[in-house]
Amino acid sequence: MKLDIYQIDAFAAGPFEGNPAAVMPLTDWLDDSVLQQLAEENNLSETAFYTAGLPADAGPHDPEHPAYHLRWFTPAVEVDLCGHATLATAAQIFEDVHPDADRIQFWTRSGWLHVDRGPDATLVMNFPAEPPVPTAADPRIVAALGIPVRECLKATDLVFVAESEHDIVSMAPDFAVFSPLKVRGIVVTAASDVEGLDFVSRWFGAAAGVQEDPVTGSAHSQIAPYWADVLGRNSLVGRQLSARGGTVHCEVRGDRVHLSGAYRRYLRGTVEF
């Protein structure tokens, strides 16, 4: 079998920045076990698979815009929501399949999502907002982070608010503590000291099977509502401080968050198995 594969860096302002995602268009769905093996072989934080066929349970969508069924796999598991691989998939479809479209719709495990063309060659994703709620901090996790923590909250991920951007940059977590946790991942965030940025973050996987994600769009659907409330404004700019780094522009609109960023295409090839 031969399949097309694309690798696109999402939330990347330049080469070798942002979060690389594999994008694999399919004519028909393969067995889930094969999809998981492909994602493991690709060995990126996410591989996105999509088909033009929509499942019977897909809700109504706008017939004026192209629609696809989209799924995301880490090397270990299928996930319910992924930002950077959604942006990468939309970029591939906009450029290679629907160059005249201004919106792409995706049916996913999180319902309908859509991605619009934005200004200056950016793409804008419309995601569900997930404001985190306060929760008790597990002292084992705080110790594993190795930095002072001001607040602990929970949404899909555990969210820890640090004292400073310096703490985010300098932290060297004990990853062995995270891997057994029954939570997708851990976000650590702080207000930014840099002009033009509102907050910074890093994201560490637990059940998702990813040690540290370069840029995590879905994490921003959790921390953007938090920082919007703290800072008193809905338009924010976040920077994920991984080794690669990436910038996410966020706009909180009620129960939705618009996440936008640039992208860079890296490769196109053929998978044979």
Tens-digit pLDDT profile for residues 89-99: 999 999 999 99
- Do 167 and 202 contact (CB within 8 A), yes or no? no
Quick check: is 46 catalytic? yes
Integer Cα distance of 47 and 71 in angstroms: 8
Integer Cα distance of 74 and 45 in angstroms: 5
Q: What pLDDT score was predicted for residue 208?
A: 87
Q: For residue 105, give the H/E element and its range.
A: strand 103-108
Q: Which of 163, 173, 214 is nearest to 20 (CA)?
A: 214
pTM of the predicted model as reported, rounded to 2 decimal places:
0.95
The owner of tokens 């989209």 is 70
Answer whether residue 228 shows pLDDT above 90. Answer: yes
Tell me the pLDDT band of 231, cut-offs 50, 70 and 90: very high
Answer whether residue 209 shows pLDDT above 90. Answer: no
**Which residues does residue 272 pair with via DSSP β-bridges, in sequence order?**
2
Integer Cα distance of 161 and 189 in angstroms: 5
Tell me the pLDDT band of 139, cut-offs 50, 70 and 90: very high
Q: One of 46, 130, 165, 212 is an active-site residue; which one?
A: 46
Tell me the pLDDT band of 222, cut-offs 50, 70 and 90: very high
